[in-house]
Amino acid sequence: MRSFGLANPKRRLSNYEIGAVSFAFLLAATVFYLDTFTEIQSALATLYVITLLLSAETLTEKGTLLLAGICIGLSALSYIAGHGLHGDLAAALRLTVAVAAMVITCLLIIRNQRARLALIKFNADLQSSEERYRTIFEQSRVALWERDYSQVRALLMKLRENGVSDLHAHARNNPEFISDCIACVPTVAANAAALELLGHVDARNIKSMRRYIAQDDATFLDLMVAIFNSESYFEGKGAIIASDGTTKLVLLTVGFPEDVANFNRVIVGMFDITEREMAQKALFEAQAELARASRAATIGALSASLAHELNQPLGALVVNAQTLQRWLDRDPPDLAAVSRSAERIVRDSQRASDIIQSTRSLLGRRNPVIEPVSLIDLVSETRALMEGELLRSRVAFETSAASDMHTVNAVRIELQQVLINLITNAVQAMAATPEEHRRILVTIGSADGQEVSVKVHDSGPGLGAEILQNLFKPFCTTKESGLGMGLSICRSMLEARGGTLTAANHTEGGALFEMTMPIEAAVHE
Amino acid sequence: MYGTRIHIEGAYTGLLITRPAKKLSRKPVIAIVDDDNSIREALDDLVMSCGYQSRLFSSAEEYLADQDGASIDCMLVDVKMPGLTGIELQALLNEQATPKPPMIFMTSYSDNQTRAAAMKGGAFAFLGKPVDFGQLIQCLEKALKH
C-alpha cells in the first residue's frame, strides 16, 4: 500500500473511514450493476462521483486518480455492454456528462487535498516554531516574562486622546498613576530564570507585577512613556524587589509588537546586573574618594610647601621694613641704610612673587586639554558618578535642557569638578529636608550667544544672608568636616576660563547655583 | 646692589668694625646662623641698626668651623637647616668645654617638642617666624646683659 502511495500514510483507518470506503465500493458495484444490467435511462454513472467523494479522504492523490480512472472505465464498460460501440446519441451524452462530472470531481478533490496538505504542513511548522519558542523561553538563562500590556496600552491611549502629552508631568500630578499602571499589567507566563530572579516564588503568585516594582520607579514610568509614544522597543535599568525583600538591579528589555492585537503577549526580558552595578558603583565611589583624598592631599602638601617657601622672604621682608623704619627714625636718618633696606624689600618681594609664579606654573604643567564638552553628557555622567550618593540620600535628580546649545569648548575635568561640588553641596544641604521633597534640578540653557549656563537648584532650606555673603571666600564652611575651599576653588577655576559662579536663593525656595562658561574657554600660558 | 653694600660696610669699617677696634670698643657681636640669605641679610641689618655687630653663617657646620667662637656675645639660630639643625648645633656646643653664648632660636615650625628640646638645652629664647621685631630686639638686649 505504502509503496504505491494510494492511501493516506496513516497507521490505522478509522471506523468511519472503513465504513465510508466500504459504502463507496458497494455503491460503485451497485451503480455498475444497475448501469450495465438494467435499462434505466439516466446518467447512473454520475453516481460514481459519490464513490470518489467518499473515498477522497482516505486516498492519496494517486489513489484518487486511479479510482477516478476505474470509475470512468466502469462507466465506459457499462456503456459498451449496454449499447455496443454504436450507441445512441442520448446514451453517449449521458456517458459524457457522467465522465465530465467524475473528472471535475477528481480535480476538485485533488486541489482540496493539496490545500489540506499545505495547511497541515504549515500547521506542523507553526507547532515546531512554537515548541522552539517555548524551549527558548523556558530554558533561557535570561529572566523572561510574557505580559499582557493591552489594558495598560488602552489606558495610555485614552490619556493621549484626552489631551495628555507629557506623561512625566501627568505622573507627577497623579501620584496614583504608576501604581494604577502596574496593576494593569498581568503576567501571562514566566520562565524558570524569572522565578529564580524574584526569589523562587510560585508561578501563580506572579499574576501581577505590583509587588515587584517600587511605586516610585522611574524606569517603569519610562516604559509607560515608550508605549505612550508607540515606540517599538524599550531598554532601561530598573530596580525590582525580590520575594525576600532585597532590591535587585535589572537590565530591562521589552520589544513591542507591531500589531496592536499582540499587546496581550509581550515578552519582557530582565537581566540581573546587581553585582555588576554594585562593583561599578564601588569603583566609582572609590574613584571619587581617591579624587577627593588626592585633592585634599594636594591642597595640604601645596599649602605646606607654599607656607614654608613664602615664610622666608616674608620674614625677611618684615624685618627689613622694620629695620628701615629704625634707620629713618635716626637723627639724622641714615638714608644710605634706608635705601639698602628698601632694595632688599624689593628683592624679597620679588622672590615671594616668583615662588607663587613657579607654583602656578608647576600646577599648570598638567596641560589642561580644551575639548568640546557636551553639557548634557557631562551632567548625565556626573549623575551616574554620584548615583550611589543620590540613592543613599534618596534625592530625586532631574535634568532639563532649555535650548539646543549644549556644547562648549572647555576643560572637561574642571567642569565636572564644579558640578560634583555643587551637587554634593545640594545633597548635603537637603539632609534635613523630608525625603519625598529632596530634589535637585539641573538646568542647561544658554545665557546668551556667547556663553552657556548650568543651574543647580535644590529643594533644601536655601542660603542664610551671612553665608550668601561669604560663600565664595576661602575657609567659609557650614560643614563640620569641611575645609571651606570647595566653592572658592570652583569659582576661581571657572573664572580662570572666563566663566562665573554665582549663588542665590530661588524664588520657589532652595539654593540656586549658576555656573556660566563661555562657548570657547580661555587658555592661559 | 652688592656694590652699595660693600660701600656702606666700608663706611662702617672705618668707624666701628675693624677687628682690633671691635675688641677695644667692646661692641657686642651677634652670630646669625641661618641658611636663607634674605633672612641673614635682614637680621644683619637689624643687628646693625641696634648698634651691634654681626657675623653671618649660612650653616651650623660653618659656625663650628670658625675658630673665633669665643668672640661671639649672642647667637640668632634658625632651627631648621640643611645639615646640622639648630638644636643639634646647641647639643654640640654644650659638649664643648668653652662656655657658649646665649642662643636665641627662630623657627617657622614652633612645635612644642622642638621648643622643649631647645629650652632643655639651655636656649635663651625660642621665637616663631616671622619674627616679632620688638620681641627680638628685647630678647637681644636681655641676652647681652646676661
Residue B17's pLDDT is 38
Which residues of B fall within a CB distance of 8 Å from A347?
1, 38
Residue B47's pLDDT is 92
* B10 lies within 8 A of chain A by CB: no
CATH number at A330 reads: 1.10.287
Within a domain: residue A9?
no
Cell of A349: 618681594
pLDDT in tens, B57-99: 999 999 988 867 678 899 999 988 888 889 999 999 888 878 8
In total, the C-beta contacts within 8 angstroms joining chain A to chain B are 70
Q: Are residues A152 and A20 in the same domain?
A: no
Within a domain: residue A3?
no
CB contact under 8 A, B8 and A340: yes
Q: ∠A320-A322-A327 over CA atoms, to 5°?
A: 90
Residue A106's pLDDT is 92
Q: Are residues A381 and A470 in the same domain?
A: yes
Q: Are residues A176 and A130 in the same domain?
A: no
pLDDT in tens, B127-142: 887 778 888 889 999 9
Cell of A174: 497623579
Within a domain: residue A4?
no
* Dist CA A370 CA A408 (whole Å): 9
Q: Are residues A453 and A379 in the same domain?
A: yes
Distances (CA, A) of A394 to A221, A244, A426, B87: 18, 22, 12, 57
Q: Are residues A84 and A222 in the same domain?
A: no
* A305 lies within 8 A of chain B by CB: no
Residue B77's pLDDT is 93
Which residues of A fall within a CB distance of 8 Å from B129?
311, 315
Write the CB contacts of A253 (distance below 8 Å, at least 6 apart in sequence).
A233, A234, A235, A268, A269, A270, A271
Within a domain: residue A486?
yes
Domain range for residue A186?
140-272
Cβ-based neighbour number of residue A122 at 10 Å:
10
* B17 lies within 8 A of chain A by CB: no
Q: Which amino acid is at B14?
A: G
CATH number at A177 reads: 3.30.450.20
Last residue of a domain, one of A272, A302, A320: A272
Q: Are residues A89 and A170 in the same domain?
A: no
Within a domain: residue A524?
no
Q: Tens digit of pLDDT per residue, chain A (525 long)?
A: 444 567 776 656 778 888 888 888 898 888 888 888 877 767 778 888 888 888 888 888 888 899 899 989 988 888 888 777 776 788 888 888 889 999 999 999 999 989 988 999 999 999 999 999 889 888 888 888 888 899 899 999 999 899 888 888 888 888 888 888 888 888 888 888 888 887 765 545 544 455 566 555 678 888 888 988 888 889 888 888 777 778 888 888 998 988 888 888 898 888 888 888 788 878 877 877 777 777 777 777 777 778 878 888 888 998 999 999 999 998 888 899 999 999 999 999 998 888 888 777 766 655 667 888 888 888 988 888 787 778 878 889 999 887 666 788 888 888 888 888 899 889 988 988 888 889 999 998 865 678 888 999 999 998 888 888 888 876 667 666 565 667 888 888 888 888 899 999 999 889 999 999 888 877 654
Q: Are residues A507 and A426 in the same domain?
A: yes
Residue A479's pLDDT is 66
CB contact under 8 A, B45 and A344: yes
Residue B55's pLDDT is 92
CB contact under 8 A, B41 and A314: no
* A341 lies within 8 A of chain B by CB: yes
Residues 41-70 of B with CB under 8 A from A: 41-43, 45-46, 48-50
Q: Are residues A128 and A70 in the same domain?
A: yes
* B2 lies within 8 A of chain A by CB: no
Mark residue B116 as left, alpha or beta (left: phi above 0; alpha: psi -120 to 50; beta: remaining): alpha
Q: Are residues A327 and A258 in the same domain?
A: no
Q: How many domains does chain A have?
A: 4
- Residue B14, pLDDT > 70, answer no
Last residue of a domain, one of A212, A247, A272: A272
* Dist CA A83 CA A92 (whole Å): 9
End-to-end CA distance of chain B: 37
Residue A458's pLDDT is 94
Which residues of A fall within a CB distance of 8 Å from B107?
none
CATH number at A503 reads: 3.30.565.10
Q: Are residues A257 and A295 in the same domain?
A: no
Q: Are residues A428 and A491 in the same domain?
A: yes
Strand-by-strand arrangement of the A247-255 sheet:
A187-190, A143-147, A266-272, A247-255, A233-241
Residue A328's pLDDT is 92
Closest CB to A319 among B4, B7, B42: B42
Last residue of a domain, one of A249, A272, A295: A272
CB contact under 8 A, A308 and B108: yes
Q: What are phi and psi of A162, to 5 degrees?
A: -80, 5
- Residue B15, pLDDT > 50, answer no
Q: pTM for this structure?
A: 0.42
Distances (CA, A) of A77 to A34, A240, B43: 12, 82, 149
Q: Are residues A159 and A104 in the same domain?
A: no
Closest CB to B131 among A319, A340, A343: A319
CB contact under 8 A, B42 and A311: no
Within a domain: residue A209?
yes
SS (H, E, C) A65-129: HHHHHHHHHHHHHHHHHHHCCCCCHHHHHHHHHHHHHHHHHHHHHHHHHHHHHHHHHHHHHHHHH
Within a domain: residue A525?
no
Domains of chain B plus CATH, in order, are: 26-145 (3.40.50.2300)
Residue A447's pLDDT is 58
* A346 lies within 8 A of chain B by CB: no
CB contact under 8 A, A316 and B36: yes
Residues 115-144 of B with CB under 8 A from A: 129-131, 133
CB contact under 8 A, B41 and A316: yes
Within a domain: residue A6?
no
